[in-house]
Structure 1
Amino acid sequence: MESLDVCAEIENDDFYSQFLLEPIKVVTGDNVSVTEQVTKLTDGINKLTKSLECQVLAKHNDLLTQASHISDLENMLEAVRVQEESLLRGTEGLADGVYASYESLENQTIMLERVQITCNLLRHASKILVLWNKLCSINDNPAKEAMLLYELNELFNDYDFEGINLLDDVLKQVRDRRTELLNNSTELLQSSLLSGDKTKLLQCFKVFHNLQCTGEQINNTVNSILKCLQREIHNALDIQMVSIEVKKSSSGRIAPGKANIMSAQDFKIKLWDNIEKLFKVEIYNSCLKAVMLQTAVTELHAIGNFRNIAKNFWNELCLLFSTELEKSPSNVSQSIEIDYAKLLKCFNDLLSKLKCKNLEMNRSYFTKWENSFLSKSLAKLLDPVRSMWHLNQVPNMDQIDNAIRVIAEALSISLGDKQLSISLANSVAKSIKQMHMETEQRLSMDNDVSQIIEPPTSSQQKNADLCNALYYFTSQIKRVLVNLNSLLPQESVQIVQSSLKDISSLPILQLFSESIKNSLFIILLTMHNEQDFVKNEDPNNKTLSCSPYMKELQQFVSRCKDIYLSMFQDKSALNECNVTISKACIERFIHHVCNVRPLTVYGRAKLQVDCKHLEISLSPLINDVIDLGDNYRQLKALQLLLEKSPHEIAKSQYEGASLPYSLVMMFLFSHAGQQLLAPHVCAGWNIQKLMQWLDTHKNERERLEFVAGALQRYQNHVRQNQIATYDEVYPLLLQLLEDGRKTLK
């Protein structure tokens, strides 16, 4: 049996394969006895033994060769071992030589180091003694003395001179002298700050700089100032101290038991006296010291970067004051909240008095009191505005004056502080908005508020009174702004002015304006019923009066001005309303005049008189008709147009006139014969519909095309009826139409 077959048989046999596992387990079985297992194991061993014998017999030559090679390998390994032992012995000898050299070199290095230390000690000792001799010879030169003391101190710190008797006494005297010099300079610094002696202050800082302790001395000095200041602030805000001072100075009532009663007003007055005195004396003097420190350090450029002494001190002061306020009793904090502007004024006055750049109050430390102050100020501003509206009545002058007084006070107390002024200006704007809103809510929008036939109704009178009250309110605020304009920041003025910008009586006046314009349009429409316009009389050498419709218009305008418009006091809105009415009246008058037909020479003379009289009719509304601008120029142009012939009209239009081509062409139709129909007649419209069309079609191109349609129809009529000649006005109209179209291009 081949060896491979034997191995395969063992691996595949369930019994033998268990002996191939790691670790080998005890083979037990219920069906196989121990004797059988031993027998099977013996058979397997015999098979393996026979297989090994067969392999040895088959490859005995190879096995003998390998055995001889093993013997050679053992000889080689023995030779290597001998050489290794020889190498180790040589290495041990070399190591002994290296270790001996290293120990010798180490000893010499230690000796050299000790020699160097000794030399340095001698050198330092020599330098110390030289500097000490120089120091002993110095008199009245603290700065130079400080420099030598610093150098000596550095030399003593470089090495440990303990045990050198020669220097022990010097070291002790150097330390004593440095301490003495530092104490003297510190005392001189304090006295210099108190006396304001800048020369001595600079001398102190030179000493500190040479002693390399400038920062430490500045910090100590500033902390000392702040500590004293904290005590002064605490005393000024201490309610018990304030109460004692009030009782000493008050002439208050003596209650039963002879208890001196302190009123809230007395307490408030004394508290603010303490605060103002604190800022004027203690805080000012402390800040002055910090500024002096800053100035002295800045002048000595070699000292280093200590350029924020005053700024840091100021921030610490603000923090210190706010901290003490936080710890103060509630009535003290409430007094600060109510009169927060006074506290800001104290800070701002102090800053202006110090005249130190880059210093400003850190408002973040006082946010609590500022917000409370602004909240109470807003409530104070809104209260008189809300309280004046009772039972849906119109507020009287006294109530409005009271609200104005509160607004003026709010703007005045913020003078000198831009940020607070802007915040209060926003609060004032809210009170103005509240007044506007309250007024708008009470305005009546019933159907009768725009009637101009009967006397003013109660709704109209109430609307006028509300507008007048609002106008008086806004005008008084504007007067306050004028008085305070040079004192208030422009941002504050603009905020209040912006809140007033949209407040006007114009919305109510516009209701009257529309009614008045509609009535004026109806009166002007009757122009076409005037019989004088078709008379064939000669107007020369006759005194002509205005037409009846113009007299009616004049009476109507005067009546509206005296009865309805006179109820309003807002001159600006009233003037704007009057201008709107006057412009609309002139525009509609021109439209009607340009479309009156038939029209004789006498009728044109009458219309000229009406043009002049229209200025008189509108005089109750407008003081100077020149203010109407283009409308007035067009009225004057129409007046000149009425006395010219068609050729003269066309020539004047070519030379440049104020009236648009479309209206001039409509007017020339009145010079033509009956067959040349007016544009609105061609369209089948009455004069009222023409006016409506002109109101909604103000574009000159559309109007020219409207007139061109009538000319085209007339041209078709002439051709169809084979009429020999055109109307003499027709060529002029064609030329004007062409010129008008060119101007549009």
Structure 2
Amino acid sequence: MVTGDPGATKPTSSAGSDDDDYTSSMSHLTIGQQIQELSKRLQNTTEELHQQVRDKHGALLQQATHAGRFDAALNTLADEVQRVRETGHRLKGQVDTQYQLVENQTQVLGRLHDVSHLLRSAGTLLALTAKLKSTKDVLRQAELHFELAQLIDDKDLKDIEFVQKERAFVISSGQKIRNLTQMQLVTGLQERNQNQVVNALKIFMNFNTLEKSLENLLATFIADMEQSLKECFAGNDISVLNKSPTQGTGSSTVKPAASRGPGKTPQLTTTQNFRAKFWKSLHWLLYDELYESCTQIKLLKAALEQINQFGYTSESSDQYIPRRFWQKVQQLLRKSFDECSQHVTQTLQEGLSKLLTSARGLEQRLNGEFKFENELFAPLEVGYVSKCAANMKACLAGVDLPGNETVDNFIRVASTELSAALIDGRLTNSIANVFIACGKELCTKLEAQIKLGADSKQVVDLPNLQQQQNTTLANVLYYYKDSVRRMLSDLQVQFEKTPGTARDNIFRSLEQADLLIGTILQQIMESIITTISIIILSMHREPGLNSERLSTTGPSMYMKELQEFVSRSWSNHIALFDDKPMTTKCGHELAKRCIELFLHNVCILRPLSRAGRQRLKQDCQHMDQGLRPLCANLAELGKPSRLLRAMSLLIVQSPQELVKQTIGEDSLVPSYIVLLLLFGHAGADLQSPHTTANWSNERLIEWLDGHTAEREKLELISGALQRYRDNARRKNIQQYDEVYPMMVDYFEQALKAIP
């Protein structure tokens, strides 16, 4: 290798700059001058190369020597490679010969093996076919077919002529057995022969057609039901539906009616006849035919469990036979309901309760193992509810002032509709909502006729025309309310069997009637209470209560007037209402109010003589008798009744005995009553609380009615006691009223007892 002088090589940058200078200098020369310059430079280059060869002559010779040796080594290596290649060819020839020999022998053995396998398979086929021909047991034949299945499907055996006859026999026999088994399966299900069904299923298992056979069986059930639905929707007689399939053979067989699609209009004389046949047929279809199919499915499930096919009998499996069957049934019904003709749809909607009765009857007959989805009948509910609403509203149409006859018609229709709908909870709730809406409309019409105002409140005279009309309206409302309750009582057993809140919702809807009756009664009760309050207040003007010459026998004048007014107003105005529970409640409230007014007026009455107190004691007893028209047994009033009897004793007791009354929550008589009674035993200087505040008796009674807290009443009494003490100090009175210390002590105890 020639190596140049390092000093002879110029830097790249210098060479680049020289080239640039040379190019720039050449650009100024002519072509001839440029050729001469190039020739000169070429001559210089040649001379320089010769000089370098002369300088490196030894190195070049040494490198040439090495190249010769390398060529000799390469030639030697090539000879060795050639010898190895020749040896490899000889070995390959020897191996190929042996391999070809082995391959030929292997092919011969493989063909011998195939022939042997075919002969064995053919022999097995012939042997099993012979057994098949000699076996009469169908189940055993199915087992033999299971063993023959792979042989029959073998492609190689199909080309062997001497087994073709046996193959054809096996195939034909298998088809006959499957057809016969399918018939036996259907017959076994119809005859409830579980052993026959089990054997048929085992045969299908041996043929590996169990799933296909079950699917065909389900398809048969659905096809039969679909045909029955078409006949039913076509309005055919029930005898066509109830005809046995085995009646289709023989010369005497009646030809079935031509199959009609759901959309064809039945040729019937009247709509009524069509509907009668339609519902009779549909009930038979659901209650009898579908029940028969479900029973067979249950038997099929038991048979599958017996042969350990739990994939078809486990509810968690997608192949669960009862679920698959029931889903197909509901799909068929849903499709039939959606695609049927308009007049059939109308019939289904208007008779939905009949359809649900048949459906729920089927569910109950099957012990709840098969249940229809609620959404299946939902599309029919709208029409049925509309029909029921129209029937109920027709009873109220054109009636501005409903009476008992209107109520009777409405309740009769509503009872019929509810009774029919009670077969299904969802439908019952819908019909109940319609009934509630119609009931609200009835109450609204009655409410519009109620008279309010001064004329409808008077209780002094006999009832006027407005009050008579209000009483009539209240009695109609009560008659409606009572009729609804009797209707619900009659349907109680059916309501208990049907889940839902329909009954409670109807009961709650009666609150509107109670409210209207209460409105009519309330205005009369307010007038009665106002009049009673005026009569009782007149006791403060009763003559002789401060005189010892007063007779203590018989009632006071105000008490006589009160007894007469209570008896007259109750008999003339309240007793005319038929709603006795509400009038009884009003009577109790009125009696409590009378007792409260009487007690408040008695405890502030002063001055009183001993004879006057005895007269008031008698008045307490006469009050008990005077309230009998309002409440036959005053003991039912509870605490007010006991308080009235206690007042008859307290009014005649001395201050020393009064302050011994129990204080606190267990006390029957409130503390403020005792304190007000003590004011009646005091002198004129110890004024009553209302006198101290410059109130009239009427204002004090109103104040006591409006302030029910015990503390507020004690604070009012405290003001009177404080003023008396201040006046006594200002007047420099040496001794307080003898009742005052007892009142102060009792007051402090009462104040401490308040929680």
- Given the two structures, how large is their TM-score scaled by the length of structure 1? 0.80
Q: Which of 700, 718, 723 lines up with 2:728 in the alignment?
A: 718
User: In the TM superposition, what are the counterparts of 1:30-49 in structure 2 within 5 Å?
Assistant: none
Deviation at 1:420, TM superposition (A): 2.2
Equivalent residue number for residue 26 of structure 1: none
Deviation at 1:383, TM superposition (A): 2.4
Deviation at 1:727, TM superposition (A): 2.7
Report if aligned partners of 1:449, 1:460 keep a CA contact under 8 Å in 2: yes
Q: How far apart, in 1, do the equivalents of 2:695 and 2:70 lie?
A: 138
Q: How far apart, in 2, do the equivalents of 1:82 and 1:380 lie?
A: 123
Deviation track 1:536-562 (CA, whole Å, cap 9, x = no partner) reads: 34x8xx651111111111122122212
Deviation at 1:699, TM superposition (A): 0.8
Q: Which of 622, 628, 632 lines up with 1:619 in the alignment?
A: 628
2:536 paired with 1:524? yes
Deviation at 1:622, TM superposition (A): 1.5
User: In the TM superposition, what are the counterparts of 1:358-369 in structure 2 within 5 Å?
Assistant: 358-369=369-380
User: In the TM superposition, what are the counterparts of 1:232-243 in structure 2 within 5 Å?
Assistant: 232-238=228-234
User: In the TM superposition, what are the counterparts of 1:346-745 in structure 2 within 5 Å?
Assistant: 346-353=358-365, 355-389=366-400, 394-488=401-495, 489=498, 491=500, 492-504=502-514, 505-537=517-549, 544-654=553-663, 656-745=666-755
Report if aligned partners of 2:457, 2:524 keep a CA contact under 8 Å in 1: yes
Deviation at 1:365, TM superposition (A): 3.5
Deviation at 1:698, TM superposition (A): 0.5
Of stretches 642-651 and 158-167 in structure 1, the one that deviates more from structure 2 is 158-167
1:199 to 1:723, Cα distance in 2 relative to 1, 3 A: same
Report if aligned partners of 2:455, 2:464 keep a CA contact under 8 Å in 1: yes
Matched letter for residue 303 of structure 2: A
Q: How far apart, in 1, do the equivalents of 2:69 and 2:109 lie?
A: 54
1:643 to 1:175, Cα distance in 2 relative to 1, 3 A: same
Report if aligned partners of 1:188, 1:201 keep a CA contact under 8 Å in 2: yes
Deviation at 1:116, TM superposition (A): 6.8
Deviation at 1:490, TM superposition (A): 5.8
Deviation at 1:151, TM superposition (A): 2.9
Of stretches 293-302 and 623-632 in structure 1, the one that deviates more from structure 2 is 293-302
Q: Which of 349, 358, 364 lines up with 1:337 in the alignment?
A: 349
1:6 to 1:331, Cα distance in 2 relative to 1, 3 A: same
Deviation at 1:657, TM superposition (A): 3.3
**Secondary structure of the corresponding residue to residue 659 of structure 2:** helix
Report if aligned partners of 1:429, 1:496 keep a CA contact under 8 Å in 2: yes
Report if aligned partners of 1:311, 1:358 keep a CA contact under 8 Å in 2: no
Report if aligned partners of 1:536, 1:601 keep a CA contact under 8 Å in 2: yes
Deviation at 1:360, TM superposition (A): 1.7
Matched letter for residue 147 of structure 1: E
Q: How far apart, in 2, do the equivalents of 1:201 and 1:3 lie?
A: 105
Equivalent residue number for residue 204 of structure 1: 200
1:187 to 1:610, Cα distance in 2 relative to 1, 3 A: same
Deviation track 1:403-422 (CA, whole Å, cap 9, x = no partner) reads: 11111111111243333223
Deviation track 1:607-659 (CA, whole Å, cap 9, x = no partner) reads: 11111111222211212212212211221221221232222222232595311
Unaligned runs of 5+ in 2: 1-9, 242-266, 315-319
- Given the two structures, how large is their TM-score scaled by the length of structure 2? 0.79
Report if aligned partners of 2:425, 2:499 keep a CA contact under 8 Å in 1: no
1:720 to 1:172, Cα distance in 2 relative to 1, 3 A: same
Matched letter for residue 447 of structure 2: E
Matched letter for residue 485 of structure 1: Q
Report if aligned partners of 2:606, 2:680 keep a CA contact under 8 Å in 1: yes
User: In the TM superposition, what are the counterparts of 1:187-202 in structure 2 within 5 Å?
Assistant: 187-202=183-198
Report if aligned partners of 2:185, 2:197 keep a CA contact under 8 Å in 1: yes
Deviation at 1:10, TM superposition (A): 10
1:168 to 1:740, Cα distance in 2 relative to 1, 3 A: farther
Q: How far apart, in 2, do the equivalents of 1:457 and 1:223 lie?
A: 78
Q: How far apart, in 2, do the equivalents of 1:678 and 1:584 lie?
A: 23
Equivalent residue number for residue 269 of structure 1: 276
1:618 to 1:37, Cα distance in 2 relative to 1, 3 A: farther
Deviation track 1:211-232 (CA, whole Å, cap 9, x = no partner) reads: 3322222221221232223222
Q: How far apart, in 2, do the equivalents of 1:593 and 1:609 lie?
A: 12
Q: How far apart, in 2, do the equivalents of 1:599 and 1:75 lie?
A: 166
Deviation track 1:69-89 (CA, whole Å, cap 9, x = no partner) reads: 999999999999999999999
User: In the TM superposition, what are the counterparts of 1:161-310 in structure 2 within 5 Å?
Assistant: 161-164=157-160, 167-238=163-234, 262-279=269-286, 281-302=288-309, 304-306=311-313, 308-310=320-322
1:115 to 1:721, Cα distance in 2 relative to 1, 3 A: farther
Report if aligned partners of 1:506, 1:577 keep a CA contact under 8 Å in 2: no
Matched letter for residue 507 of structure 2: Q
Q: How far apart, in 2, do the equivalents of 1:606 and 1:219 lie?
A: 100
Q: How far apart, in 2, do the equivalents of 1:705 and 1:732 lie?
A: 17
Report if aligned partners of 1:315, 1:362 keep a CA contact under 8 Å in 2: no
Deviation track 1:328-377 (CA, whole Å, cap 9, x = no partner) reads: 44333322222221122222233333x25331223434333221111111
User: In the TM superposition, what are the counterparts of 1:7-156 in structure 2 within 5 Å?
Assistant: 131-132=128-129, 135=132, 138-139=135-136, 141-154=137-150, 156=152
- Number of residue pairs aligned between Structure 1 and Structure 2: 693
Deviation at 1:460, TM superposition (A): 2.8
Q: How far apart, in 2, do the equivalents of 1:453 and 1:331 lie?
A: 65
**Secondary structure of the corresponding residue to residue 651 of structure 1:** coil
User: In the TM superposition, what are the counterparts of 1:313-328 in structure 2 within 5 Å?
Assistant: 313-328=325-340
Deviation at 1:596, TM superposition (A): 1.1
Matched letter for residue 700 of structure 2: L
Deviation at 1:512, TM superposition (A): 1.5
Q: How far apart, in 1, do the equivalents of 2:581 and 2:548 lie?
A: 47
1:93 to 1:743, Cα distance in 2 relative to 1, 3 A: farther
Report if aligned partners of 1:146, 1:211 keep a CA contact under 8 Å in 2: yes
Report if aligned partners of 1:232, 1:282 keep a CA contact under 8 Å in 2: no
Of stretches 620-629 and 735-744 in structure 1, the one that deviates more from structure 2 is 735-744
Deviation track 1:292-325 (CA, whole Å, cap 9, x = no partner) reads: 3334334443364246434443443343344344
1:234 to 1:379, Cα distance in 2 relative to 1, 3 A: same
Matched letter for residue 213 of structure 1: T
Matched letter for residue 211 of structure 2: G
1:162 to 1:572, Cα distance in 2 relative to 1, 3 A: same
Of stretches 260-269 and 477-486 in structure 1, the one that deviates more from structure 2 is 260-269
Q: How far apart, in 2, do the equivalents of 1:127 and 1:626 lie?
A: 106
Matched letter for residue 364 of structure 2: S
Deviation at 1:566, TM superposition (A): 3.0
Deviation at 1:590, TM superposition (A): 1.2
Q: How far apart, in 1, do the equivalents of 2:86 and 2:626 lie?
A: 138
Matched letter for residue 626 of structure 1: A
Report if aligned partners of 1:382, 1:434 keep a CA contact under 8 Å in 2: no
Deviation at 1:278, TM superposition (A): 3.9
1:179 to 1:651, Cα distance in 2 relative to 1, 3 A: same
Q: How far apart, in 2, do the equivalents of 1:387 and 1:102 lie?
A: 113
Report if aligned partners of 2:181, 2:200 keep a CA contact under 8 Å in 1: yes
Q: How far apart, in 2, do the equivalents of 1:543 and 1:171 lie?
A: 130
Deviation at 1:472, TM superposition (A): 0.8
Deviation at 1:36, TM superposition (A): 9.0
Matched letter for residue 192 of structure 1: G
1:467 to 1:109, Cα distance in 2 relative to 1, 3 A: farther
Report if aligned partners of 1:238, 1:328 keep a CA contact under 8 Å in 2: no
Q: How far apart, in 1, do the equivalents of 2:288 and 2:158 lie?
A: 53
Equivalent residue number for residue 254 of structure 1: none
